[in-house]
Amino acid sequence: MVDPSARRPRLGLAALSLGALALASMACRLTPVDDTAGSASEASATTSEATGATSSATDATATTGGATEATGGETGDIPPQGPPPAAGKNPFPWSLESRDAVCDDDLDNDDNSYFDCDDFACSRNPSVVVCGPLTIYESTPTACQNGMDDDGDGKADCDDPDCRKNPFLNVCLQPRVEDRCGEGVDGDGDGLINCDDNDCLALDASCVPKAGSLRILFDLTLDETAANGPSSDWMIDPWGRLPTPSNPASRNEWSGSLSSFAFDLYKRGHRIEQLASWEGALSFGDPQNPQDLGLYDVLVVIEPSRQLSAAEKGAIINFVDAGGGLLLIANHISADRDGNGWSAAAALNDMFDKNPVRPDPFGLRFDEIDIEQELTLERIEDAAHPVIAGPAGTVDRIGLYVATTAHLTGSNPGASGLIVLDAAASSSVDVVVGAAPVGSGRLVFVTDSAIIGDGTDSHGTSLAEKDAYNDPALDHAALFVNAVTWLGGL
């Protein structure tokens, strides 16, 4: 194993105002493709039209008004609310049709054949209010105050995370992030102060983490929530950089398909953050970026759904070369979630082929195919590898749903297939889980995103049949926790 003390030096983290760091992440958009069973019930739960919507002017005024409900807020002495923390921000900055001004102009501004509120970036955008009843989720000021379950997920108004944890609105009592670290005051009302609060532990440079505590960043800047529902809502919690509450008692206090996985990491003492789409940026070696990759031990990228820029590709590759750990998860080629022409396999292969560092940087390529059958995989190629036999348990079998595979290219002699299809000719082809040393860092790749989801999403939907991560007959939780542990050099 890698000696953590031998890993790359961390960039200095300046003192930060935590009140300004309650960042938000993005909402989901329509999915042309579903991965697993249950798509019909999922669609009915998330595409019912909102009712009782008023004019866009009324909604726009309400976005900066005072809170009218306190359901779901944290305890403590709550100060008066100002504008929501993401007011004026765009959760889909890569889309040219994702703001009120262009979601109501009768134009296809991004040339994707969808106009205005038929466009995913308008109808599923928590910052857009002009779509009114065409808004897919319960995420407008009117819908969050009408006493109705507008999106059919069994939750109304401030009981729905679309309202309660929407950082673009302050209709409901807003979640709180600790902003008084070092003052001996419980600023977020969770009963913890100073470095005992995980907000401070994650962000205050004066807080010394416990031995073995990894700093883990989940990326949300690559359109990882492009689709609809628990199949592909790849976030921990919609509030932003820091999931709220900061000290959860169970996975259900966070709202997202990755809440179970992140909660397992949190229980092990790791520090969990998200890179919010509307403000965060992937960089490596930029001291002006408070979430520069140089500050983290492990980066998690799950099913990116847009083409990466040259700068983003370089940041990821250089981060791993310098000692970082990368968990990279793809999916089948037809999973173009938002109709922009990019699936995860295509976007990641594009990074491998065209980047400012070197071709074929990791020694693998995702197969641009669809495996349209559900399988249980038991062909373990390296039973002694720490990703297979690690601190979270032994991986004996995993599921494979609608997915793809990968193959090793031979450019990285240390790369290995850990779990492959039963009929694979070798451990270098038809790979489903693999690992590789890369420079001073490490990579783990997986070809099916469904196995990391816990059947919930950031919009209030919960489908037990989609909870693959916690399936007691399979070893998905052990696989992913082991992977992060190994990636972090522990």
- Residue-by-residue DSSP string for 179-195: --TTTT--TTSSS--GG
User: How far is Cα 28 from Cα 453, in angstroms, rounded to an integer?
Assistant: 15
According to the model, what pLDDT value does residue 80 have? 59
According to the model, what pLDDT value does residue 54 have? 33
Q: Which residues face 275 on adjacent strands?
A: 219
**Fold (topology level) of 207-487:** Rossmann fold (3.40.50)
CB 316 within 8 A of CB 217: no
DSSP state letters, 419-484: EE-TT-SSTTSSEEEEEEEETTEEEEEES-SGGG-EEE-TTS-EEEEEE-TT-TTS-HHHHHHHHH
- Given the structure tokens 């401030």, which residue do they identify? 158
Q: What is the pLDDT of residues 241-289, one digit of tens each?
A: 999 999 999 999 999 999 999 999 999 999 999 999 998 999 999 999 9
CB 25 within 8 A of CB 238: yes
Q: Which residues face 433 on adjacent strands?
A: 419, 446
Q: What is the length of the chain?
A: 490
User: How far is Cα 26 from Cα 339, in angstroms, rounded to an integer?
Assistant: 17
Helix (H) or strand (E) segment spanning residue 393: strand 393-394
* Tokens linked to 73: 């807020």
Whole-prediction pTM: 0.85
CA-based nearest residue to 272, from 307, 235, 303, 304: 235
According to the model, what pLDDT value does residue 202 have? 83
C-alpha distances in angstroms, 485 versus 16, 297, 392? Answer: 28, 10, 9
Q: What is the pLDDT of residues 185-222, one digit of tens each?
A: 998 988 899 999 999 988 888 999 999 999 999 999 99
CA-based nearest residue to 475, from 379, 404, 388: 388
User: Domain limits of the chain?
Assistant: 207-487
Give me the tens of pLDDT residue by residue for the chain, a chain 490 residues long: 333 333 333 333 333 333 333 333 333 322 233 333 333 333 333 333 333 333 333 343 344 333 433 333 344 455 557 788 899 999 999 999 999 999 999 999 999 889 999 998 999 899 999 998 899 899 999 999 999 999 999 999 999 999 999 999 989 999 988 989 999 999 898 889 999 999 998 888 899 999 999 999 999 999 998 766 677 789 999 999 999 999 999 999 999 999 999 999 999 999 999 999 998 999 999 999 999 999 999 999 999 999 999 999 999 999 999 999 999 999 999 988 887 889 999 999 999 999 999 999 999 999 999 999 999 999 999 999 999 999 999 999 999 999 999 999 999 999 999 999 999 999 999 999 999 999 999 999 999 999 999 999 999 999 999 999 999 999 999 999 999 999 999 9
User: How far is Cα 62 from Cα 58, in angstroms, rounded to an integer?
Assistant: 6
According to the model, what pLDDT value does residue 437 have? 98
CA-based nearest residue to 487, from 361, 326, 328: 326
